[in-house]
């Protein structure tokens, strides 16, 4: 199976059954996946920061850096591929307190809050989450089946 790497501040959509979308090093970042089991189309994004208002120029250049503009853009891509809202399976991982032991910035927590607000506004339910703590995670989604695994601390589990 071919791995398509989703970089930090990046996203990908695939309908190729021999592909798996993979993103690494989800600390305070949020990894978002959408999967349509009818069309066998999957999407994954790796978003760093909650709000694009801190740098609108950067948001225009790299929208997937920010949850508030990147998640809607990824949803637009999914819908452009023919997916329908009521078929989408949404799962999310990350949002750790990594590198923020004093809990000053709470980036992971804020990423999750902004993401949940976007889902609520769009009438989308979240089927699975693996968030919080202070660990990093790797997400891997198989396009043929929609199987999503989270790897952390040497342990892999299905989400």
pLDDT tens, residue order, the chain (159 aa): 999 999 999 999 999 999 999 999 999 999 999 999 999 999 999 999 999 999 999 999 999 999 999 999 999 999 999 999 999 999 999 999 865 555 557 899 999 999 999 999 999 999 999 998 889 999 999 999 999 999 998 899 999
Would you state the CATH architecture of domain 2-158?
2-Layer Sandwich (3.30)
Q: Domain boundaries in the chain?
A: 2-158
Q: Which of 136, 155, 139 is nearest to 3 (CA)?
A: 139
Query: Which pLDDT score is estimated for 106?
Result: 87
- CA atoms within 13 A of residue 67's CA, in its CB half-sphere: 26
- Say what the pTM is: 0.94
Encoding tokens for residue 115? 């993401």
Decide if 106 contacts 97 (C-beta within 8 A): yes
Which residues, 6+ apart, have CB-to-CB distance to 114 below 8 Å? 50, 51, 67, 68
């Amino acid at each position: 199976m071919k791995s398509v790497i989703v970089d930090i501040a990046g996203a990908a959509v695939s309908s190729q059954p021999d592909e798996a979308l993979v993103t690494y090093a989800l600390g305070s970042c949020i990894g978002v996946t959408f999967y349509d089991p009818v069309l066998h189309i999957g999407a994954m994004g790796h978003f760093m920061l909650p709000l694009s208002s801190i740098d609108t120029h950067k948001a225009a250049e790299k929208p997937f850096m920010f949850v508030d503009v990147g998640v809607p853009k990824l949803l637009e891509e999914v819908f452009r591929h023919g997916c329908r809202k009521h078929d989408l399976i949404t799962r999310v991982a990350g949002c750790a307190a990594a590198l923020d032991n004093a809990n000053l910035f709470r980036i992971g927590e804020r990423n999750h809050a902004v993401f949940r607000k976007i889902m609520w506004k769009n009438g989308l339910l979240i089927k699975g989450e693996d968030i919080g703590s202070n660990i990093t995670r790797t997400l891997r989604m198989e396009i043929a089946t929609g199987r999503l695994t989270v790897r952390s601390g040497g342990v892999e589990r299905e989400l």
